[in-house]
Structure 1
């Protein structure tokens, strides 16, 4: 039975959603009830150098206001903090806290566990083939950190 291109896109999105939903639920079971997928994207962008709301917004393809709201939530939960810039005392730079890095490590471990579950379901050879085919189709780095903004776009305009 042949499927349409739209079916393929929905299957891929469904696989992504299934993994992310399961990881979010497991993080909650491990005591991180407040973590959402966008928080992972934001903390990774901050760890990679997005040290202000403006820069985080650019990297996630969201508005500065949306980035600021995400930062506020992350600060409230102790996942990121603002430090004084050593070169400009008026400027505050974002950084991921040790707790934030722990959340990222927990998330990575959970995704490894979920991958292991998929491997048990379909077999190691089938999963390896799936990963090999996806890598051939989308490249070794299949997603940029701007996925939250990209998904929320309306007629090509980021929110």
Structure 2
């Protein structure tokens, strides 16, 4: 009889690791002036990128409808993380960009993820953590950013 865990445990443990890290960083962000941020918001910020995006582009990048992207934009605009500006190349288009508050949230989350990684290195040892990261790179696609995860989770 094998002492190996069942196959379904691996994705659940990976998801739990993800949740543990993200929840830890979001608790810290809440203490640092960003209490309304949700895990999805970081993905939205990354999908908007430094050049900004239209609602259509954002929806496509996230794998959601233009309407769903518009709702996210409205919500994050009300919270002060995003702003709509005119496209300098096409006055009919609105570009969504991060505000200073949004950039601050991204900067703080990056520092939070570094802090959590350092904690994992203390718990596991740096060599084991590096080995874990190498192993995960070996079994996952090279493309690190899968911004369409919101659409993937919500698809039927």
**TM-score, length of structure 1 as denominator length:** 0.90
The answer to whether the 8 Å contact 1:78/1:99 transfers is: yes
CA RMSD after TM alignment: 1.5
* 1:83 alignment partner, SS class: strand
* 2:33 alignment partner, SS class: coil
Q: Distance in 2 between matches of 1:142 and 1:90?
A: 33
Which of 6, 9, 16 matches 1:7? 9
Task: Give unmatched runs, 5+ long, in structure 1.
Answer: 155-159
Residue 70 (1) aligns with residue 72 (2): yes
Q: Distance in 2 between matches of 1:58 and 1:100?
A: 21
| Residue 108 of structure 1: aligned partner | 110
Q: Distance in 2 between matches of 1:61 and 1:87?
A: 25
Within 5 Å, which residues of 2 pair with 1:43-58? Answer: 43-47=45-49, 49=51, 51-58=53-60
Task: Give unmatched runs, 5+ long, in structure 2.
Answer: none
The answer to whether the 8 Å contact 1:50/1:59 transfers is: no
* 1:78 alignment partner, SS class: coil
Structure 1 pair 66/99, CA: closer, same or farther in 2 (3 Å)? Answer: same
* 2:90 alignment partner, SS class: coil
The answer to whether the 8 Å contact 2:82/2:99 transfers is: yes
Tell me the number of residue pairs that the alignment of Structure 1 and Structure 2 aligns: 154
**TM-score, length of structure 2 as denominator length:** 0.91
